Amino acid sequence: MEMKTTAPGSRVVPAGDAALAAATDALAAGEIVAIPTETVYGLAADATNGEAVARIFAAKQRPSFNPLICHVTGIGMAETFASFDPMSRKLAEAFWPGALTLVLPLKPDHAIHPLVTAGLDTVAVRAPRGFGAELIAALGRPLAAPSANRSGKISATSAQAVTDSLGDAVPLVIDGGPTPVGVESTIVKVEDGAVFLLRPGGVAVEEIEAVAGVQLLRAKANAAIQAPGMLASHYAPSARMRLNASHVDPGEALLAFGPERVTGASDAKAVLVLSESGDLVEAAAKLFDYMGRLDATGAACIAVEPIPMTGLGEAINDRLARAAAPREKQ
Ligand code: TXA
Ligand code: MG
């Protein structure tokens, strides 16, 4: 197998059988892999593995946990975790595999990790062409993958652009040559038969309208679905959240971090530790689950121990701040 080392610890392998085997093994072991898709390069992880998904955010240095696109082999795999209304099904049948992403409601008891959806009850799904499609089929599970670039930088359309942007933060990069489409997928969401355009992209609006038989609506009219990550209320538990707590009041639940507990922890209604060892990747993977579990105890307030702002800590603190923000009435 031919290999080029472009940065310490980062392997670039040309797309092919050996790359497929290496990428499948890495993903099955919970690693992240940069892969070519027809739109742009994606930074992929097993969508059912929280720590693997957390590694995506760490590598991209995302300051917040935006929801990611779930990549599937087709409608069959998508239906294991999301439901299709008739219009979404029609669009998937027309454009998959391809550069169209559909935002769909999650099914109950789905296996997608909440870090992928940022805790939303919807999931963005698309079926890519080429190496990505073969890889998902080989792994047998959906892949969460945002564009393979540093957060806030332009999307990578070549393996070189991936390593230039992410350096050795990604252990394995599959080189499939320049991506044919070159811009990200078009994202739409169907609501009661109306099709909202959330992001223009690789499939033209006119092409979608020709299949849908209706005009696309611009999402500006519906800010709630345009930028779900920006809405505090989507993440807010019923309990109040008290951040950077230096003590726990009796009856409060405690979301803890690191080896030591704050004063009063033994009187807390419940304590869940995001990571005993202070590992921010582990903490990110557990965040949404533990917030939900502490909320379910019925505690009126969840005290949260300080979490450092380094690495994924920034994204964790961003999400906690949204959960703690004054609630908007919708
Ligand atoms: O072509 C593409 O779409 C590439 C390749 C790798 O597939 N991926 C990509 O992912 O551009 P990313 O993470 O850079 O952009 C995903 C977009 C974000 O704008 C996010 O807000 C939106 O999808 N999104 C994800 N889940 C959503 C949801 N449940 N509702 C609304 N928007 C969602
Ligand atoms: Mg992106």
Q: Is residue 262 part of a domain?
A: yes
Cα-to-centroid distance, 67 and ligand 1 (Å): 7
Judge if 195 and 265 occupy the same domain: no
- Give me the domain span that covers residue 41: 4-218
Calculate the average pLDDT of the chain.
89
Same domain, 109 and 69: yes
Residues 192 and 255 in one domain: no
Is 230 among the domain residues? no
Q: What is the CATH number of the domain that holds 203?
A: 3.90.870.10
Residue 228 Cβ contacting ligand 1 at under 6 Å: yes
Write the pLDDT tens digit of every residue in 36-90: 999 999 999 999 999 999 999 999 987 778 899 999 999 999 999 999 999 999 9
Q: How far is the CA of 69 from the centre of ligand 1 (A)?
A: 5
* Joined tokens for residue 189: 């969401």
Q: Give the position, in ligand 1's atom list, of the atom nearest the Cα of 120.
A: 29
Ligand 1 lined by 68 (C-beta under 6 Å): yes
* 226 within a domain of the structure (yes/no): no
| Dihedral sign of CA atoms 174, 178, 181, 187 in order | positive
Query: Could you tell me which of 49, 37, 211 has the C-alpha nearest to residue 128?
Result: 37
Which ligand has the minimum distance to the alpha carbon of residue 180? 1
User: Structural domain tally of the chain?
Assistant: 2
Is residue 120 within 6 Å of ligand 1 at its C-beta?
A: yes
Tens digits of residue pLDDT in 186-230: 999 999 989 999 988 889 888 999 999 999 998 664 454 455 444
* Domain assignment present for 308: yes
One domain, residues 214 and 257: no
Other C-beta atoms lying within 10 Å of the C-beta of residue 93: 12
| Predicted confidence (pLDDT) at residue 272 exceeds the cutoff of 90 | yes
Q: Is 50 in the pocket of ligand 1 (CB under 6 A)?
A: no
- 146 CB under 6 A from ligand 1? yes
Give yes or no: residues 285 and 208 share one domain: no
Where residue 314 falls (left for φ over 0; alpha for ψ -120 to 50; beta otherwise) is alpha
* Assigned domain for 228 exists: no
Is there a single domain that holds both residue 245 and residue 175? no
144 C-alpha to ligand 2 centroid (Å): 12
Q: Is residue 259 part of a domain?
A: yes
Question: Which of 39, 40, 69 is the best mutation target for the ligand 1 pocket, counting ligand atoms within 8 Å of the beta carbon and taking the most?
Answer: 69
Q: Let me know whether 123 and 180 are in one domain.
A: yes
- Give pLDDT tens digits for 93-142: 999 999 999 999 999 999 999 999 988 899 999 999 999 999 999 999 99
Residue 159 CB–ligand 1 contact under 6 Å: no
Span from the CA of 281 to the centroid of ligand 1 (angstroms): 21
Name the residue at shortest CA distance from atom 13 of ligand 1. 146
Residues 23 and 165 in one domain: yes
pLDDT confidence bin for 235, thresholds 50/70/90: low
Helices (H), the chain: 17-28, 50-60, 75-78, 86-95, 114-117, 131-139, 159-166, 205-212, 223-226, 232-235, 280-295, 313-324
Domain-terminating residue out of 183, 218, 253: 218
In a domain? residue 150: yes
Q: Is 101 in the pocket of ligand 1 (CB under 6 A)?
A: yes
User: Where residue 290 sits, what CATH number does that domain have?
Assistant: 3.40.50.11030
Tell me the whole-structure pTM to 2 decimals: 0.85
Taking the C-alpha atoms of residue 109 and residue 122, their distance in angstroms, rounded to an integer, is 13
Whether residues 278 and 205 share a domain: the answer is no
Residue with tokens 């990604």: 170
CA dist 227 and 239 (Å) reads 24
Mutate to test the pocket of ligand 1, among 32, 37, 68, 166 (most ligand atoms within 8 A of CB): 68
